[in-house]
C-alpha cells in the first residue's frame, strides 16, 4: 500500500491523520510517514487499510459522501465497529 492510497482512504472517508492513527493504534506521526512515503503499513494495518481503500473506491465511484462519512465515523470509533458494519452490510 503506497502513500497515495493511504491519503486517498483518509480523504475520502473524511478522517484526520489523528483519527486514522488512533483507529490503527499507531502514532499520528506514523500516518504522516505512510502518506509521505517514508514508511509503509505492514501486517494487519496494511490489510485493514487495503480493505478501507477498496471501500473508499466503491464509495467514491458511487459519489456517496454520506456513506463515506458513516464509514469514516466508524473507523474513528474503532476498527471493531467498522468490521461489524461491513459484515452486516455484506450479508
Domain segments of the chain as ranges: 3-90
Backbone angles phi, psi at 68, to 5 degrees: -65, -40
> Could you please report the per-residue DSSP string of 28-89?
HHHHHHHHHTSS---HHHHHHHHHHHHHHHHHHHTT-HHHHHHHHHHHHH-HHHHHHHHHHH
Q: Which 8-state DSSP code applies to residue 16?
A: -
pLDDT tens-digit readout, 25-82? 899 999 999 999 999 999 888 988 998 999 999 999 999 999 889 888 878 877 666 6
Question: Which one of 1.10.10, 1.10.260, 1.20.1070, 1.10.3470 gives the CATH number of domain 3-90?
Answer: 1.10.260
Do residues 85 and 52 touch, judged by C-beta distance below 8 A? Answer: no
Whole-prediction pTM: 0.81
Amino acid at each position: 500500500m503506497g502513500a497515495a492510497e493511504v491519503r486517498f482512504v483518509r480523504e475520502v472517508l473524511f478522517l484526520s491523520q489523528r483519527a486514522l492513527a488512533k483507529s490503527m493504534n499507531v502514532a499520528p506521526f506514523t500516518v504522516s510517514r505512510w502518506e509521505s512515503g517514508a514508511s509503509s503499513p505492514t501486517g494487519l494495518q496494511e490489510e485493514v487499510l487495503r480493505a478501507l481503500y477498496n471501500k473508499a473506491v466503491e464509495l467514491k465511484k458511487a459519489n456517496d459522501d454520506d456513506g463515506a462519512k458513516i464509514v469514516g465515523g466508524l473507523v474513528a470509533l474503532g476498527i471493531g465497529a467498522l468490521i461489524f458494519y461491513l459484515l452486516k452490510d455484506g450479508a
